[in-house]
Amino acid sequence: MSATVQSMTANAAEAERELTDGFNLIIDALKLNGLNTIYGVPGIPITDFGRMAQAAGIRVLSFRHEQNAGYAASIAGFLTKKPGVCLTVSAPGFLNGLTALAHATTNCFPMILISGSSEREIVDLQQGDYEEMDQLAIAKPLCKAAFRVLHAQDIGIGLARAIRAAVSGRPGGVYLDLPAKLFGQVMDAEAGKKSLVNVIDAAPAQIPAPESIKRALDVLKSAKKPLIILGKGAAYAQADDAIRQLVEKSGIPFLPMSMAKGLLPDTHPLCAGAARSTVLKDSDVVMLIGARLNWLLSHGKGKSWGNAPKKFIQIDIEPKEMDSNVEIVAPVVGDIGSCVSALLTGMGSNWATPSSDWTGAVAKKREENVAKMAPRLMNNNSPMDYHGALGVLRTIIKERPDAILVNEGANTLDLARGIIDMYQPRKRIDVGTWGIMGIGMGYSIAAAIETGKPVLAIEGDSAFGFSGMEVETICRYKLPVCIVIFNNDGIYRGTDVNKAGSDPAPTVFVKGARYDRMMEAFGGVGVSATSPDELKRAVNAAMDSGKPTLINAVLDPAAGSESGRIGNLNPQSALKKK
């Protein structure tokens, strides 16, 4: 055989050999691991990837801004215990997504941010590539783990590492850097298939040490005024039955943190939500389950915790969390499902519930506070105040307990959290650990996609602005999302006046803005509601129809206080002119 004929035969064999490439391997790897939804924004170098993923049966949701896609992915992780996937372009797209990745990490939500990036050899020599940026280095300090894949044959391992890092132990955000060249890299299909990894037991159970369970039960037994605090880690764990049993068998009042509301219904006889200050002050033993003693709990000390000595038991998957703010006398390290089951077993069959002096005092305080609030929730004022508007939304959630409530704002957040009772686990999703604005539309979209349930987003007018353009996304995908904007013409309030010139004051917006018309621009339903009655009718219609709806709820511009309930966090100038 001549050399020419020989090479022609080799080429024919090569042509017959089935090939795959980076695009396909990433898609196959995602699907193999049950990651069937991508939240993102297309662009160079991932535009074709999105199309191909969609053609391959992955649900690809295109957003208008990466931050909102990232928030969607983060809450998808919280709701499903699988990493939410966000896909962005390089440099600016990556940076936009990064806020959400850091948010996922801070909130302990599993998420993978996948960003296309520029070519290493150009980036590393800083030769000015298209959207040049050393993304991996920038992502590292802001997430739980960060990986880069350079070769098609490493895609399987790269994704496996990302999945494990996101969901095992304390969940968090993971960054996966995919340089543009990787997508087009070709390899033998059979070898490619073999290189993929089906991640087995990505978040293995972490069984607590028996001594730690015994120690915790001993402390609990010694308590006269015990309290259980449930955090969003407890909601995330999906150990709902075990947690309910623990509360009911122990007979201990429980205080749900914002996103743990509904784990047991807020109307449960042991719920201390409406007696928060009393239980924090007067309890003697506090058992934290998936809740951190961070700023949201005044770091476990100070005025709100009262003067009586207190002992803390903490259940958490992260050993380093213990003693982070105050001494934890009984750390229980493990996953919440395993820890709570072990506690239940250890309690045996004749556990003594706390004295009725304590539970009775808590119940009494709760009833007093609920009764005090009740008449304010029934007003039909126009323009509305917060209580009138929230009173009707409270009833709507009571009648539709499987709806997902998204909530952000300052006063809109603080008041809705207290007023609206939740009845089912993981139905309330909100600003989380940082108390950030901007999660609204991303969370709403992911909640609708991941759960198939109707979504009610209760939004401050300022908070809504951070993700408002995604109403187009909601209309485009025809999602059953009803957005209610508490429109008081500004941040905190709409009444500030600039005394030094003609510009508006920094905290006010256009007066009488009609957010409902934004929705109409995209074919959704827009309603302006000026009284609680009108609001109620509009929300019920939206929830019945499942049509994307935005209700502009006209509030009194004077309603609202500075920074809601956390005005104390604002520094004050001693020199400020009155």
Q: Which is nearer to ligand ADP, 226 or 231 (CB)?
A: 231
Q: Which is nearer to ligand ADP, 410 or 474 (CB)?
A: 410
- 488 contact choice in Mg ion, ligand ADP, none (CB below 5 to 8 Å, kind-dependent): Mg ion
Task: Check: CB of residue 170 under 8 Å from CB of residue 143.
Answer: no
Q: Which residues contact 366 (CB under 8 A, 6 or more apart)?
A: 271, 272, 273, 274, 275
Task: Check: CB of residue 232 under 8 Å from CB of residue 78.
Answer: yes
- 291 contact choice in Mg ion, ligand ADP, none (CB below 5 to 8 Å, kind-dependent): ligand ADP
The closest alpha carbon to 429, from 394, 395, 403, 390, belongs to: 403
Q: Which is nearer to ligand ADP, 259 or 393 (CB)?
A: 259
Rounded CA separation 35/84 (Å): 8
Q: Which is nearer to ligand ADP, 387 or 428 (CB)?
A: 428
CB count in 10 Å sphere of residue 517: 12
Q: State in angstroms the smallest separation of the CB of 448 from Mg ion.
A: 25
Q: Which is nearer to ligand ADP, 22 or 233 (CB)?
A: 233
Q: Which stretch binds Mg ion (CB under 5 A): 87-95, 322-330, 485-493, 538-546?
A: 485-493
Q: State in angstroms the smallest separation of the CB of 229 from ligand ADP.
A: 7
- 50 contact choice in Mg ion, ligand ADP, none (CB below 5 to 8 Å, kind-dependent): none
Which single residue is written with the structure tokens 């074709």? Answer: 48
Q: Which is nearer to ligand ADP, 89 or 167 (CB)?
A: 167
Q: State in angstroms the smallest separation of the CB of 40 from Mg ion.
A: 30
- 20 contact choice in Mg ion, ligand ADP, none (CB below 5 to 8 Å, kind-dependent): none
Q: Which is nearer to ligand ADP, 265 or 504 (CB)?
A: 265
Rounded CA separation 525/139 (Å): 39
Q: State in angstroms the smallest separation of the CB of 443 from ligand ADP.
A: 15
> 47-55 and 22-32 helices cross at what angle (nearest 10)?
50
Q: State in angstroms the smallest separation of the CB of 108 from ligand ADP.
A: 4
Q: Which is nearer to ligand ADP, 335 or 459 (CB)?
A: 335
Q: Is 195 in the site for Mg ion (CB under 5 A)?
A: no
- 294 contact choice in ligand ADP, Mg ion, none (CB below 5 to 8 Å, kind-dependent): ligand ADP
Chain positions contacting ligand ADP, by CB under 6 A: 107-108, 170-171, 231-233, 236-237, 257, 259-260, 290-292, 294, 296, 316-318, 321, 335-336, 433
Instruction: Give long-range contacts, CB 8 A cutoff, 24+ apart: 43-46.
Output: 43/88, 43/89, 43/93, 44/89, 44/90, 44/116, 44/130, 44/131, 44/180, 45/89, 45/90, 45/116, 45/180, 45/183, 46/87, 46/88, 46/89, 46/116, 46/183
- 259 contact choice in Mg ion, ligand ADP, none (CB below 5 to 8 Å, kind-dependent): ligand ADP
Q: Is 408 in the site for Mg ion (CB under 5 A)?
A: no
Q: State in angstroms the smallest separation of the CB of 258 from ligand ADP.
A: 6
Q: Which is nearer to Mg ion, 477 or 509 (CB)?
A: 509
Q: Which stretch binds Mg ion (CB under 5 A): 357-365, 445-453, 456-464, 512-520?
A: 456-464
For ligand ADP, the nearest residue by Cβ is 233
Q: Which is nearer to Mg ion, 94 or 486 (CB)?
A: 486
Which tokens in the block code for residue 503? 């510009």
Which tokens in the block code for residue 123? 């980036």
Task: Check: CB of residue 225 under 8 Å from CB of residue 253.
Answer: no
- 316 contact choice in Mg ion, ligand ADP, none (CB below 5 to 8 Å, kind-dependent): ligand ADP
Count helices and strands in the chain by DSSP H and E runs = 23, 19
Q: State in angstroms the smallest separation of the CB of 462 from Mg ion.
A: 5
Q: State in angstroms the smallest separation of the CB of 92 from ligand ADP.
A: 29
Q: Is 488 in the site for Mg ion (CB under 5 A)?
A: yes
- 237 contact choice in ligand ADP, Mg ion, none (CB below 5 to 8 Å, kind-dependent): ligand ADP
- 192 contact choice in ligand ADP, Mg ion, none (CB below 5 to 8 Å, kind-dependent): none
Q: Which residues contact 135 (CB under 8 A, 6 or more apart)?
A: 90, 91, 94, 115, 117, 175, 177
- 461 contact choice in ligand ADP, Mg ion, none (CB below 5 to 8 Å, kind-dependent): Mg ion
Q: State in angstroms the smallest separation of the CB of 240 from ligand ADP.
A: 12
Rounded CA separation 521/115 (Å): 31
Q: Which is nearer to ligand ADP, 285 or 288 (CB)?
A: 288
Q: State in angstroms the smallest separation of the CB of 453 from Mg ion.
A: 27
Which single residue is written with the structure tokens 């996953």? Answer: 335
Rounded CA separation 66/248 (Å): 43
* Phi and psi at residue 47, to the nearest 5°: -60, -50
Q: Is 552 in the site for Mg ion (CB under 5 A)?
A: no
- 347 contact choice in ligand ADP, Mg ion, none (CB below 5 to 8 Å, kind-dependent): none
Rounded CA separation 43/88 (Å): 8
Rounded CA separation 107/144 (Å): 12
Provide the pairing of β-strand 19-21 with 186-188.
antiparallel
Sequence letter at residue 41: V
Q: Is 461 in the site for Mg ion (CB under 5 A)?
A: yes
Q: Which is nearer to ligand ADP, 252 or 317 (CB)?
A: 317
Helix (H) or strand (E) holding 460: strand 455-460
| 438 burial type by CB count under 10 A (0-12 exposed, 13-18 middle, 19+ buried) | buried
Q: State in angstroms the smallest separation of the CB of 340 from ligand ADP.
A: 9
Q: Per residue in 411-423, is it b (16+ CB within 10 Å) or e — as a string?
A: bbbbbbbbbbbbb
Q: Which is nearer to ligand ADP, 207 or 373 (CB)?
A: 207
| Residues binding Mg ion (CB under 5 A) | 460-461, 488
